[in-house]
């Protein structure tokens, strides 16, 4: 099961790298979102995907899944959400101010 | 008692939140943010004394024992950096009061400075790898805002690059954390160190350590510096000075911590790699510093050179070398802030940013001119100033260990630093005065005082190096003997 998830994460990283290297700003932001999905999957897989109950003490099971990676992922998701929001607003602002979302067109301004 | 060590992180966060509500009251914002920084610095000094008598201080949050809860650890190294951070921030705030302008001040500028300081201090104090990641993000998100505050076109462009590269490096950090958790099953630094020494540093662990090396190199501009000159040259001067002084140093601190505490068993691989990266950084930084005519680019490439030099100390890896690096780290935080402030003042006065567009400034601004001369001497490592001792110690240790290539590069780069800054001094301050005295805008005292404070600090630090020698020795001793750190965090392992 872990290997399937790892391969999935690898494919996500591949797509994200491709998007990251493009010239379009929105594609780069999409790439960063995909990257974070990949690493969240990786964190989950690295904690081990053993069968066990959800980590709720009320369930009164013999084995539970590891709760630590879930807490790490939850933190990482929120941080990534904030950064993506900033990044999107920055892209919008750049588009408003310069009239382009192409990174090549952003190189060097006349008034510099 | 040891609850005190969380305050350098908590106070700036609380003050930052309070300042959000005090948006229209600029005067109160200024006073409160200055008081917060002074308080953290004073607390740092007090704790530094405590550490000398009581050993390393630790704080376990919520009474959870060390590997299970988050710990904050204060040893001499982190406290020295907290104190220096507070001092540099104080001076940059004083400069910001005079220059930043009402429009930015009412856009939560002081709040974001406080959050930045909280992230930096948290990174210095934490004893947990994932918590280090979170503190990095606190610092980075605040720095994203500070790069783009004001929203000029070039700021927008550079902040796109800056955010993209930092999203990528945070991603690699998370990957490294995932791998470490998968192999060792813990994220507490002391516990990681114990586990690594138990199972031995296998090739897999060495690979993970190199992944962490890439992360912190991206953050600190060691070899992977390409984002740095752009994003450090666009923000307002006070912010650029804060960045130049603090942000890269956090990455350096993290590398020192990781490679002395956890991954210290295979120095033939990791520390050799650090040495190679430091060597290339010194070369590239030197080329960049003399290649550009833009004053801010020159200052930014001087940051890159300093990162290379400090990492030479870690690559040599002996107590004396680490002492030298710590001296140089403290010196560099102060002097880089000074350099950015002076360069920003020159650009603000003349309205130009190139070497060949300014000339003969010394006739109208003699004090500014001599301050630039002082920063030149101090950065090059001329004896009465603070850069000297660090260079001598690192050089001596490199000779002792026989690392002559690194030694040569480190000292030749000093010549390049001297040349690049003397070029600023001679081109801009000597020669014919372009503008007559009536045309030159008067230099306000409030623009100069922060730079004078920092110049005095570099002089005092150079002459009175003995006064901090105790703390630096202790810091280097703790770094070279990780069992002291481990015993403090995990007393009954």
pLDDT in tens, B316-336: 999 999 999 999 999 999 999
- On the CB side of B292, CA atoms within 13 Å amount to 21
Please name the helix (run of DSSP H) or strand (run of DSSP E) that holds residue B226, with its range, or none: none
Residue B372 reports pLDDT greater than 80: yes
**Residue A9 maps to a domain:** yes
Q: pLDDT grade, residue B437 (50/70/90)?
A: low
Share of chain B above pLDDT 90, in %: 82
Please name the helix (run of DSSP H) or strand (run of DSSP E) that holds residue A99, with its range, or none: none
pTM of the predicted model as reported, rounded to 2 decimal places: 0.95
Q: pLDDT grade, residue B439 (50/70/90)?
A: low
DSSP code for A106: G
When CB atoms are compared, the residue of B145, B148, B178 closest to A46 is B178
Query: Which residues on chain B are in Cβ contact (under 8 Å) with A20?
Result: 164, 168
When CB atoms are compared, the residue of B130, B141, B156 closest to A94 is B156
CA-closest candidate to residue B333, choices B266, B241, B451: B241
When CB atoms are compared, the residue of A36, A72, A109 closest to B153 is A109
CA distance B176 to chain A (A): 10
Nearest CA in chain A to B186: A68
pLDDT in tens, B26-39: 999 999 999 999 99
Residue A110 reports pLDDT greater than 60: no
Reading phi first (left if > 0) and then psi (alpha if -120 to 50, else beta), residue B381 is in left
Task: Using the structure block, give the residue that is written with the tokens 């951070």.
Answer: B85
CA distance A26 to chain B (A): 11
Interface test with B, best of A41, A83, A85 (most B CBs within 10 A): A83
- On the CB side of B352, CA atoms within 13 Å amount to 13
Residue A111 reports pLDDT greater than 60: no
For chain B, how many helices (H) and strands (E)?
Answer: 20, 2
Query: Which residues on chain B are in Cβ contact (under 8 Å) with A28?
Result: 164
Burial class (CB in 10 A: 0-12, 13-18, 19+), B471: buried
Average pLDDT, chain B: 92
User: What's the rounded Cα separation, in Å, for the pair B90 and B241?
Assistant: 12
Average pLDDT, chain A: 90
Residues 11-70 of A with CB under 8 A from B: 20, 25, 28, 32, 35-36, 39, 42-43, 45-48, 68-69
String of b and e for B136-160 (b: at least 16 CB within 10 Å)? Answer: bbbbbbbbbbbbbbbebbebbbbbb
| CB distance B213 to B274 below 8 Å | yes
Residue A49 reports pLDDT greater than 90: no
User: What's the rounded Cα separation, in Å, for the pair B154 and B160?
Assistant: 10
User: What's the rounded Cα separation, in Å, for the pair B114 and B36?
Assistant: 8
CA distance B325 to chain A (A): 33
Q: Does B181 sit within 8 Å of A79, measured CB to CB?
A: no
Task: Using the structure block, give the residue that is written with the tokens 């004053």.
Answer: B295
User: What's the rounded Cα separation, in Å, for the pair A35 and A12?
Assistant: 7
Residue ranges making up the domain that contains A93:
2-105
Q: Quote helix, strand, coil % in chain A, to nearest 5.
A: 70, 5, 25
**Residue A110 maps to a domain:** no
Residue A25 reports pLDDT greater than 90: yes
**Residue A37 maps to a domain:** yes
Q: Does B154 sit within 8 Å of A72, measured CB to CB?
A: no
Least confident range of B34-43, B59-68, B250-259, B439-448? B439-448
| CB distance B272 to B315 below 8 Å | yes
Distance set, CA A74 to CA A37, A71, A81, A93, B172 (Å): 12, 5, 11, 29, 17
User: What's the rounded Cα separation, in Å, for the pair B80 and B307?
Assistant: 18
Please name the helix (run of DSSP H) or strand (run of DSSP E) that holds residue B330, with its range, or none: helix B319-350
Residue B277 reports pLDDT greater than 70: yes
**Residue A111 maps to a domain:** no
Query: Which residues on chain B are in Cβ contact (under 8 Å) with A39?
Result: 171, 174-175, 178
Distance set, CA B104 to CA A46, B11, B96, B97, B233 (Å): 44, 23, 10, 11, 18
CA-closest candidate to residue A31, choices B215, B158, B163: B163
| CB distance B334 to B386 below 8 Å | yes
Nearest CA in chain B to A16: B168
User: What's the rounded Cα separation, in Å, for the pair B324 and B217?
Assistant: 20
| CB distance B69 to B487 below 8 Å | no
Q: Per the structure block, which two tokens stand in for A90?
A: 């920055």
pLDDT in tens, A53-91: 888 888 788 888 889 999 999 999 999 999 999 999 999
Nearest CA in chain B to A103: B157
What pLDDT, on the 0 to 100 scale, is given for residue B351? 85
Nearest CA in chain B to A99: B153
CATH classification at residue A27:
1.10.287.3510
Q: pLDDT grade, residue B91 (50/70/90)?
A: very high
User: What's the rounded Cα separation, in Å, for the pair A12 and A100?
Assistant: 28
- For helices B129-148 and B109-125, the axis angle rounded to 10 degrees is 160
- Mean pLDDT computed over B344-361: 88
Please name the helix (run of DSSP H) or strand (run of DSSP E) that holds residue A21, with its range, or none: none
Q: Does B157 sit within 8 Å of A76, measured CB to CB?
A: no
CA-closest candidate to residue B322, choices B116, B484, B106, B476: B476
pLDDT in tens, B174-218: 999 999 999 999 999 999 999 999 998 899 999 999 999 999 999
Nearest CA in chain B to A20: B164
User: What's the rounded Cα separation, in Å, for the pair A103 and A47?
Assistant: 38
- Provide Rg for chain A, Cα atoms: 19
Residue B438 reports pLDDT greater than 70: no
CA distance A67 to chain B (A): 12
Q: pLDDT grade, residue B97 (50/70/90)?
A: very high
**Residue A112 maps to a domain:** no
Least confident range of B101-105, B223-227, B283-287? B101-105
Helix ranges (DSSP H) in B258-294: 270-291
Beta bridge partners of B128: B188
User: What's the rounded Cα separation, in Å, for the pair B490 and A36?
Assistant: 33
Q: pLDDT grade, residue B56 (50/70/90)?
A: very high
What pLDDT, on the 0 to 100 scale, is given for residue B63? 86
| CB distance B373 to B418 below 8 Å | no
What pLDDT, on the 0 to 100 scale, is given for residue B1? 52
Coil, helix or strand for B24? coil
Nearest CA in chain B to A10: B175
Query: Which residues on chain A are in Cβ contact (under 8 Å) with B164?
Result: 20, 28, 32, 87
Domain locations along chain B = 3-489
Q: Does A42 sit within 8 Å of B156, measured CB to CB?
A: no
CB under 8 Å to B255, separation ≥6 — which residues?
Answer: B213, B216, B217, B220, B222, B274, B311, B314
Q: pLDDT grade, residue B150 (50/70/90)?
A: confident
Nearest CA in chain B to A24: B160
In chain A, the number of structural domains is 1
First to last CA, chain B: 23
When CB atoms are compared, the residue of A45, A97, A111 closest to B156 is A97
């Amino acid at each position: 099961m872990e290997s399937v998830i790892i391969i999935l994460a690898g494919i996500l990283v591949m797509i994200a790298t491709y998007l990251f290297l493009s010239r379009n700003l929105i594609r780069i932001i999409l790439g960063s979102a995909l990257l974070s999905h990949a690493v969240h999957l990786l964190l989950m897989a690295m904690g081990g995907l053993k069968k066990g109950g959800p980590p709720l003490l009320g369930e009164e099971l013999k084995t539970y899944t590891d709760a630590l990676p879930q807490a790490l992922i939850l933190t990482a998701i929120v941080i990534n959400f904030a950064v993506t929001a900033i990044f999107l607003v920055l892209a919008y602002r750049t588009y408003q101010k310069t009239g382009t979302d192409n990174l090549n067109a952003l190189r060097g301004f006349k008034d510099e | 008692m040891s609850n005190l060590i969380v305050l350098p992180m908590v106070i700036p966060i609380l003050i930052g939140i309070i300042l959000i509500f005090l948006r229209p009251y600029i005067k109160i914002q200024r006073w409160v943010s200055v008081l917060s920084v002074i308080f953290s610095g004073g607390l740092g000094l007090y704790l530094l004394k405590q550490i000398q008598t009581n050993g390393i201080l630790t704080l376990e949050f919520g009474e959870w024992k060390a590997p299970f809860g988050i710990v904050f650890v204060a040893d001499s190294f982190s406290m020295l950096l907290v104190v220096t951070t507070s001092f540099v921030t104080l001076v940059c705030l004083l400069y910001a009061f005079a220059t930043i302008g009402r429009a930015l001040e009412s856009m939560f500028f002081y709040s974001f400075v406080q959050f930045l300081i909280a992230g930096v201090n948290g990174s210095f104090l934490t004893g947990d790898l994932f918590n280090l990641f979170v503190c990095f993000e606190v610092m980075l998100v605040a720095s994203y805002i500070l790069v783009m505050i004001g929203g000029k076109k070039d700021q927008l462009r550079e902040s796109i690059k800056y955010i993209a590269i930092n999203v990528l490096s945070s991603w690699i950090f998370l990957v490294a954390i995932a791998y470490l958790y998968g192999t060792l099953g813990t994220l507490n630094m002391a516990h990681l160190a114990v586990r690594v020494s138990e199972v031995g540093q296998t090739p897999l662990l060495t690979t993970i350590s190199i992944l962490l090396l890439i992360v912190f190199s991206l953050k600190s501009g060691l070899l992977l510096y390409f984002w740095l000159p752009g994003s450090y040259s666009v923000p307002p001067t006070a912010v650029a000075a804060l960045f130049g002084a603090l942000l890269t140093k956090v990455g350096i601190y993290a590398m020192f911590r990781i490679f002395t505490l956890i991954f210290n068993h295979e120095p033939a691989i990791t520390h050799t790699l650090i040495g190679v990266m430091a060597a290339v950084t010194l070369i590239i930084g030197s080329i960049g510093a003399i290649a550009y005519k833009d004053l801010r680019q020159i200052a930014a490439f001087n940051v890159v050179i300093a990162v290379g030099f400090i990492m030479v100390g870690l690559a040599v890896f002996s107590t004396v070398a680490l002492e030298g690096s710590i001296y140089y780290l403290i010196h560099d935080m102060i002097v880089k802030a000074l350099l950015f402030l002076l360069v920003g003042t020159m650009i603000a006065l003349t309205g130009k940013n190139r070497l060949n567009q300014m000339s003969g400034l010394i006739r109208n601004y003699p004090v500014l001119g001599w301050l630039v001369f002082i920063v030149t001497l101090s950065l090059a490592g001329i004896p009465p100033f603070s850069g000297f001792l660090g260079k001598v110690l690192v050089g001596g240790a490199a000779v002792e260990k026989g690392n002559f290539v690194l030694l040569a590069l480190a000292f030749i780069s000093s010549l390049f630093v001297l040349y690049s800054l003397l070029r600023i001094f001679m081109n801009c301050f000597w020669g014919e005065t372009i503008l007559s005295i009536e045309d030159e805008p008067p230099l306000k005292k409030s623009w100069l005082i922060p730079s004078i404070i920092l110049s005095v600090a570099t002089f005092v630090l150079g002459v009175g190096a003995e006064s901090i020698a105790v703390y630096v020795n202790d810091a280097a001793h703790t770094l070279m003997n990780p069992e002291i750190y481990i015993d403090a965090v995990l007393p009954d392992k």
